[in-house]
Chains A and B, each alone.
Chain A
Amino acid sequence: MVGGEEIHKTAEDAHLPPAVRLQEIYKNFRHVQAIDGVTLAIKPGEVVALLGPNGAGKTSTIDIILGLSKPDSGTVSVFGIAPVQAIRRGLISAVMQNGGLLKDLTVAETVEYTSKLFVTTRPAREVMERAGITDIANRLVAKCSGGEQQRLRFAMALLSDPELIILDEPTQGMDVEGRHQFWQAIRDDASLGRTILFATHYLQEADSYADRVVLMRKGKIVADGTAVEIKSMGKRKVVRAHLSNPEISVLSAIDGVTEVVTQGEAITITCSESDLIARYLLTQTNAKNLEISSVGLEEAFLALTGESQQSSWASSNNRGILP
């Protein structure tokens, strides 16, 4: 596991203030601990997914980074300065889930309005092109689809040429095509080296677009690392092979094995240490067609954030399940 502190050290080594630094953040909303001791540092240039189910504290965390709410305790800084200061300088911008647009302005007027609030901005034409809304420039916001409104929000977020863009559930309610176009625009932009933090509960988005995935559950960070690391943190790999007369008791006794399923000659072993299983199968048995795969991020996500965390971890340890 890549702990928050370790990353924080790395960022300091780079002699740059971290793009985002949260230390021991606590936030209580009407007796619900929305954020329960979050420490997180994001390096400049990272693309980070904040992944978790609804109510995990993602939006509360984003609000604190944006200076929209104050933590009960803990410190927050963005590029080494207070969020409000960073906002005033156009260093951060955000694409919110919904709302945040005036229905009686056109797309182009909304971009113009936003551009007038900053000291210096990218040209309106350029950001509209990058967000793919040039052809709907003269349409009233009220007449835009959800996806078009979201691309408009993205154009507004690009105006100040921010160092950090935060997206809160950016593709919620979009169809597949809209989602694809939106991420294409974000991805093109991220290649310019901007720091991006996005909240999502779509695992696939986190997996496909983030360098680093931060998993939240009940106001706490429960895992933090690359998508690959998170998957392996689920500590579950699946080993499949063909084998006659498997010795279930021996297999089950191998370190980290959680489940053994046989079906005719086919055997499926779920475990945390696939190397041990593979070595055993290939050296001590006549196993053929050996295959190792890791459990998808989806399952790791459920294991790490689900309510039934305990039961899914302890599933039938050392027990052979026969058909």
Chain B
Amino acid sequence: MSRPMEIKLSRPVPPLGGFSLGIIKLEARRILRNRRTLISTVVIPVVFFLIFGLNKAYSNLRYGNGNLSAFIMVSMALYGAVIATTSGGAMVSVERALGWSRQLRITPLSPLSYISIKMVTSLLLGLISVLAVFIAGIVTHQPSMPVEIWIITGVAVWIGSLLFTAFGLFLGYLLPSENVMQVLGFALMLFSFGGGLFIPLSQFSHSLRTAAEFTPLYGLNQLVHFPIIGGRFRLSWILNLVGWLAIFSSGAIWRFSRDTSRV
């Protein structure tokens, strides 16, 4: 290695801006090592399902193409998946505080690839959450619906929860890491009530119900339950989802671009 006459300036740039499955594998290992995240994304939704979804008083009541237990299982899977993807996105807050994002900026990893890694990682965590709740459903034999609806709702919950990766990224870039987990935990609890994940919106007063229809989990919650309930499809669900996706993504992009122009 006799330098400097051998300097090779024509080195290649990595494909996909440095994104690779190897990185995802290591990120997955980090997730599985984080006990707190696993409790809030796997244990709590499963426990909620076991408490609310198995009550003999109503769990076997028929509801659309399935029963009420299946309906609640999908709600809890959505709750878990949304916490998972939000946490996954909000990891940027911790990584910024640790100086890791700055460190990554002196590697070939492009900022967009970094965001993609966060998205895939949060989806992975969301998948674990959905699978955990669905497996609890299978094991307890209570939820009942056609096989294809298990699959459709599961996939819909999983993919739909990506909306909250954008929310997590937005909060992660906006807030310092000490507060971000509390803020997002509280926000998601509110959104879950507003979306009707815990209590059916029909129990709300008329004005509260109208307000709830504008909260971020409302559209997604209606959409993922549609295969079970059936009935009339409402365009407002899509509008709600797309609207909040636009708000969260532009917020995340705005904070993200500020972050990369700053040091």
Contact with B along A144-167 (1 / 0, CB 8 A): 000000000000100010010000
Select B102's contact among A88, A92, A99, A163, beta carbons within 8 Å.
A99
Interface residues of B in 1-60 (CB under 8 A from A): 1-5, 7, 9, 11-14, 18, 20, 22-23, 26, 29-30, 33-34
Cβ contact within 8 Å between B106 and A66: yes
B104 within 8 A of partner (CB): yes
Known: A101-B103, A163-B7. A116 touches B13 (CB 8 A): no
Which of B30, B106, B261 makes the CB contact (< 8 A) with A87? B106
Whole-angstrom CA separation of A116 from B29 in the bound complex: 15
B186 beta carbon closer than 8 Å to chain A: no
Q: Output the nearest chain A residue to B5 by Cβ-Cβ distance.
A: A16
A99 touches B14 (CB 8 A): no
B80 CB to closest chain A CB, in angstroms? 21
Which of A79, A113, A195 interacts with B26 by CB under 8 Å?
A113
Complex Cα distance, B22 from A102, in Å, reads: 16
Q: Answer whether residue A112 sits at the interface, using C-beta atoms and an 8 A cutoff.
A: yes
- B29: chain A residues within 8 A (beta carbon): 105, 109
With the chains together, A31 CA to B5 CA distance in Å? Answer: 43
B243 CB within 8 Å of chain A: no
B250 to chain A, nearest CB (A): 24
B164–chain A nearest beta-carbon distance, Å: 22
Assess whether B106 is in contact with A79, with CB atoms less than 8 Å apart. no
Are A92 and B106 neighbours in the complex by a CB distance under 8 Å? yes
Question: Quick check: A195 and B4 within 8 Å, CB to CB?
Answer: yes
Say whether A176 faces chain B, with CB atoms less than 8 Å apart.
no
How many Å from the CB of A109 to the closest CB on chain B?
6
Q: Is the pair A45, B4 in contact by a Cβ cutoff of 8 Å?
A: yes
Contacts of B33 in A (CB 8 A): 104
Roughly how many angstroms separate A268 CA and B5 CA in the complex, as a whole number?
49
Measured in the bound complex, the distance between the Cα atoms of B105 and A66 in whole Å is 9
B100 at the interface (CB under 8 A from A): yes
Say yes or no for B263: interface residue by CB 8 A criterion. Answer: yes
Complex interface: chain B residues within 8 A of A99 (CB)? 98-100, 102-103
Report A-chain residues with C-beta under 8 Å of the C-beta of B107: 87, 114, 117-118, 160
The smallest C-beta distance from A14 to any residue of chain B, in angstroms, reads 8
Q: Which residues of A contact B261 (CB under 8 A)?
A: 70
Residue B95, interface by CB 8 Å: yes
**Count of B residues near A, CB < 8 Å?**
35
Closest B residue to A116 by beta carbon equals B22
Query: Which residues of chain A are near B7, meaning CB under 8 Å?
Result: 16, 44, 79, 163
Asked if A90 CB lies within 8 Å of chain B CBs, one says: yes
**B238 at the binding interface (Cβ < 8 Å):** no
* Interface residue? B109 (CB, 8 A): yes
Is A322 part of the binding interface, using a Cβ–Cβ cutoff of 8 Å? no
Chain B residue at minimal CB-CB distance from A92? B106
Q: Determine if A272 is an interface residue (Cβ-Cβ < 8 Å).
A: no
CA distance A16 to B7 in the complex (A): 9
**Which residues of the partner chain A approach B2 to less than 8 Å between Cβ atoms?**
193
- Decide if A36 is an interface residue (CB 8 Å cutoff): no
A259 to B221, CA, bound (A): 85
Task: Collect the chain B residues with CB atoms within 8 Å of residue A94's CB.
Answer: 106
B110 closest partner in A (C-beta): A88
A96 touches which of B4, B95, B103, B108 (Cβ 8 Å): B103
Min CB gap A129→B, angstroms? 16
Report yes or no: A193 in contact with B4, Cβ–Cβ below 8 A.
yes
A165–B262 alpha-carbon span in the complex (Å): 22
User: In the bound complex, how far is the Cα of B12 from the Cα of A160, in angstroms?
Assistant: 12
Map CB proximity to A onto B172-193 as digits: 1 under 8 Å, 0 otherwise: 0000000000000000000000
Pairwise interchain contact A68-B105, C-beta atoms closer than 8 A: yes
**Contact in complex: B9, A80 (CB < 8 Å):** yes
A9, B9: Cα distance in complex, Å: 21
Interface string of A68-81 (1 = CB under 8 A from B): 11100000000111
A119, B9: Cα distance in complex, Å: 14
Looking at the assembled complex, report how far the CB atom of B159 sits from the nearest CB atom of chain A, in whole angstroms. Answer: 27
Which of chain B's residues have a CB closer than 8 A to the CB of A119?
11-14, 108
- Once the chains are docked, how many angstroms separate the CA of A102 from the CA of B95? 7
Residue of A nearest to B97 (CB): A99
Cβ-based interface call for A323 (8 A): no
Nearest CB on A from B121, distance (A): 13
Residues of A close to B3: CB separation below 8 A: 44-45, 163, 192-194
Contacting residues, chain B, for A112 (C-beta < 8 A): 22, 26
Q: A residues near B, CB below 8 A?
A: 16-17, 43-45, 63, 66-70, 79-81, 87-94, 96, 98-105, 109, 112-114, 116-120, 156, 160, 163, 192-195
Known pairs A104-B34, A113-B23, A116-B20. 15 more at Cβ < 8 A?
A16-B7, A45-B4, A68-B105, A69-B262, A88-B13, A91-B11, A96-B99, A100-B103, A102-B30, A102-B100, A104-B30, A109-B26, A116-B18, A193-B2, A194-B3
